[in-house]
Amino acid sequence: MINFYSPQDMSAWSGRIDDENDYLSFRWHQWVKPLNLNDKSLKPFEGKLAIGILGFESDQGIELNKGRYGASQGPYAIRRELSKLPCQFSEDLKIFDCGNVTSKYTNLVDAQKVLGEAVGKIISLNMFPILLGGGHEIAFGHYMGLSNYLDDKKEKNLGIVSFDAHFDLRPYDKEKGGTSGTMFRQISDLCKEKNTNYNYFVMGIQRHSNTEGLFKTARDLGAEYILAKDIINGDFKKTTDKLDAYLDKLDKVYITICSDVLATAFAPGVSAPQPLGLDPEKIIILLKRVLKTGKAFSFDIAEVSPRFDHDSITANMASILIYTVVTGLAENYGLNLIYN
């Protein structure tokens, strides 16, 4: 039994209907089905490809990190935008809404553990997890779930590809737990405990948003990174070459996006707005490059904060990035209806 968990109220999935029977006219709200992770009768999916959407209703990590809270409402806002997307994949691709884990009734440490359990459950059901934050503290719980699942597997060299303006490698109290600024340091410590490889590659780092101590910590831990300015104005081939070399050594890839990596024009509704952030087109190109390797294991997007999100711009941007992930996975399985 997964605690601090609830199935999704499917009223979030609604929108325009062009046709009730013609699948080619369907939008996601007509295709997504509910799934209760605490249903004991569940069996692994046996089709070609299934997506399991899970929300993490938490911004405790943001508050502990002295950021602007509000991301706990992100999962609902993102679902509302996902509802509008067209089904441009075949009917062999199934999408399930697996509900939400919340930190509202517990502390962040326990909420992250529960999130890890839920992630492990989704993977055990033979589905690809797509998680909706919530603060970027989602990353530690998410990674724990992936790592624990891989413990007894042969291909367990798991790597992180993160799109973020921040390293999130700050010191933390190991007894009290971390914040939304410590997850990848916590993951490093977890890897040491389990004697597994720590593979962390982050793109979009802003010099003005990270102390020199964080750059040193990144170097000391062997983290790889690319500055935002080098993605925006540098030789893009150097970026893709560095990414390719990193991906080559991995068995599985966990992709995580903190919405504050984007320029404020594309993502105003975040805890830490980024005026000089990335253009989403660049992120989409890099996302597709990761997906084409066939190594993508799981995905999340964090820190969509509706209380600051004028016209749902950030939630809409998150839905487009999720659309990129789903259609990229579908292409690997030959399930896309439209090829450009």
Give the relative orientation of helices 74-82 and 313-332 as an angle to the nearest 10 degrees.
60
Question: What is the torsion angle, in degrees rounded to the nearest 10, for the CA atoms of residue 290, residue 292, residue 298 and residue 300?
Answer: 50
Domain ranges for the chain:
5-332
**Whole-number pLDDT of residue 66:** 87
Model confidence band, residue 298 (pLDDT cutoffs 50, 70, 90): very high
Q: Which of 25-29, 125-129, 171-175, 284-288 has the lowest mean pLDDT?
A: 171-175
**Whole-number pLDDT of residue 119:** 98
Model confidence band, residue 339 (pLDDT cutoffs 50, 70, 90): low
SS3 (DSSP) at 227? strand
pLDDT (mean) for 262-285:
96
**Whole-number pLDDT of residue 113:** 97
The H or E element spanning position 215 is: helix 212-221
The H or E element spanning position 219 is: helix 212-221
The CATH code that applies to domain 5-332 is 3.40.800.10
Structure tokens at 133: 């934050």
SS3 (DSSP) at 130? strand
pLDDT (mean) for 284-307:
97
Report the C-alpha gap between 6 and 267 in whole angstroms: 28
Report whether pLDDT(164) > 80. Answer: yes
pLDDT (mean) for 228-238:
97
Report the C-alpha gap between 100 and 2 in whole angstroms: 11
Q: pTM here?
A: 0.97
- Residue 177: asked if its preceding bond is cis (omega within 30°), the reply is no
Report the C-alpha gap between 38 and 6 in whole angstroms: 9
Model confidence band, residue 123 (pLDDT cutoffs 50, 70, 90): very high
Model confidence over 242-253: pLDDT tens digits? 999 999 999 999
Query: Taking all residues of the chain, what is their mean pLDDT, rounded to a whole number?
Result: 96
Report the C-alpha gap between 141 and 110 in whole angstroms: 9
Report the C-alpha gap between 250 and 232 in whole angstroms: 26
Alpha-helix residue ranges (DSSP H) falling in 83-180: 108-124, 138-150
**Whole-number pLDDT of residue 217:** 98
Report the C-alpha gap between 62 and 69 in whole angstroms: 6
- What is the b/e burial string over 265-277, where b = at least 16 CB atoms within 10 angstroms of the residue's CB? ebbbbbbbbbeeb
pLDDT (mean) for 186-201:
97
Model confidence over 23-60: pLDDT tens digits? 999 999 999 999 999 999 999 999 999 999 999 999 99
Percentage of residues in the chain with pLDDT exceeding 90?
93
Model confidence over 58-91: pLDDT tens digits? 999 998 888 888 999 999 999 999 999 999 999 9
Structure tokens at 261: 């990596």
DSSP string of 233-263, one letter each residue: HS-HHHHHHHHHHHHHT-SEEEEEEEGGGB-
- What is the b/e burial string over 74-93, where b = at least 16 CB atoms within 10 angstroms of the residue's CB? bbbbbbbbbbebebbbeeeb
pLDDT (mean) for 105-126:
97
Structure tokens at 301: 């997007």
